[in-house]
Structure 1
Amino acid sequence: MPIQPIDVKYQAVATAENGRDGRVASDDGQLDVVVNPPKEMGGSGAGTNPEQLFAAGYSACFQSALGVVARREKADITGSTVTAKVGIGPTPDGGFGLTVALSAHIPTVDAATAKDLLEKAHQVCPYSNATRGNIEVTLTVD
């Protein structure tokens, strides 16, 4: 599928030093974190890691997409949360890949409505659109 042109409204800029065992900072000074590989991957686990940052971004973005869809559908999602679990591991070709499990808790709607809202949010969310076809993403309703 060809890339769709977009009208860029905002652009985030971050710079990494020393890769997965260093520091990442945004150009505006709002983000400045030490990054370390998790212990499971031989690191110290002393700082955050790129997968945690990806999970944070994806869960926040998906929650916003859920809100967009809920407004369109006139559904009340008060008190809802989205949790993203990002996994990393080796691929058969010697590289590394990611998996994502998105779980939503929407206490104000029934399970069928919640599932429908999640599926529609998955079509709206920029992270979902960026990862589609590249990363296994599963959706579940709590």
Structure 2
Amino acid sequence: MKTLYTAEALASGEGRDGNARTRDGKLDVTLASPMELGGSGEGTNPEQLFAAGYAACFHSALRLVGRKERADLRDSAVAAKIHFGALDGGEGYGLAAELEIALPALDKETAEALMDKAHRICPYSNATRGNMDVAITLVEFAA
């Protein structure tokens, strides 16, 4: 891989209950385990950060392939859900993702074709492929 950009971040404190910040200071967040996992819920958590990053990255990939095909991407959006849970029959924890795609200006066939192309080029999709379940659903399209 030819590196085009490197992001740098540091997590400190008590892991899920601490702080995370980027080297350039543009992101500086308090981390807190969610209440569902016994935490205070008074900060963000790694899964929320992952969801935001995956949604933004996939939307960028979608817009890139859409521009190349001169598709109408007006009001497009990507929502991401990241699920955290115990691995079946094993030790440790895992993640799964759901992406919900809105392409309201496109017909279903065109929208699905763009989603497939975006999934092939999105860095998050390429990083997760074969490592975790990722479900991609078209939730809004032109009738």
Q: Which amino acid aligns with 2:73?
A: I
- Cα distance between partner residues in 2 of 1:65 and 1:22: 32
Q: Which amino acid aligns with 2:54?
A: Y
Give 1:24-103 correspondences, 5 Å limit.
24-92=20-88, 93-103=90-100
Structure 1 unmatched ranges of 5 or more:
1-5
Match of 2:108 in 1: 111
- Cα distance between partner residues in 1 of 2:100 and 2:112: 10
- Cα distance between partner residues in 2 of 1:80 and 1:71: 12
Higher strand share: 2
CA RMSD of aligned residues (A): 0.8
How far 1:114 moved relative to its partner? Answer: 1.0
- Give the TM-score normalised by the residue count of structure 2: 0.93
How far 1:71 moved relative to its partner? Answer: 1.6
Pick from 112, 124, 128 the counterpart of residue 127 of structure 1: 124
How far 1:112 moved relative to its partner? Answer: 1.6
- Cα distance between partner residues in 1 of 2:91 and 2:2: 36
CA-to-aligned-CA distance 1:74-133 (integer Å, 9 cap, x gap): 211111000000000000212100010001111110112111111110001000000000
Structure 1 consecutive aligned stretches of length 4 or more whose deviation exceeds 6 Å = none
SS in 2 for 1:108: strand
- Give the TM-score normalised by the residue count of structure 1: 0.94
- Cα distance between partner residues in 2 of 1:120 and 1:103: 15
- Cα distance between partner residues in 1 of 2:109 and 2:97: 22
- Cα distance between partner residues in 2 of 1:78 and 1:7: 32
Match of 1:3 in 2: none
CA-to-aligned-CA distance 1:38-84 (integer Å, 9 cap, x gap): 11111110000000000000000000000111122221111100000
Task: Report percent identity of matched pairs.
Answer: 52
- Cα distance between partner residues in 2 of 1:119 and 1:57: 19
- Cα distance between partner residues in 2 of 1:114 and 1:66: 10
Equivalent residue pairs, number: 137
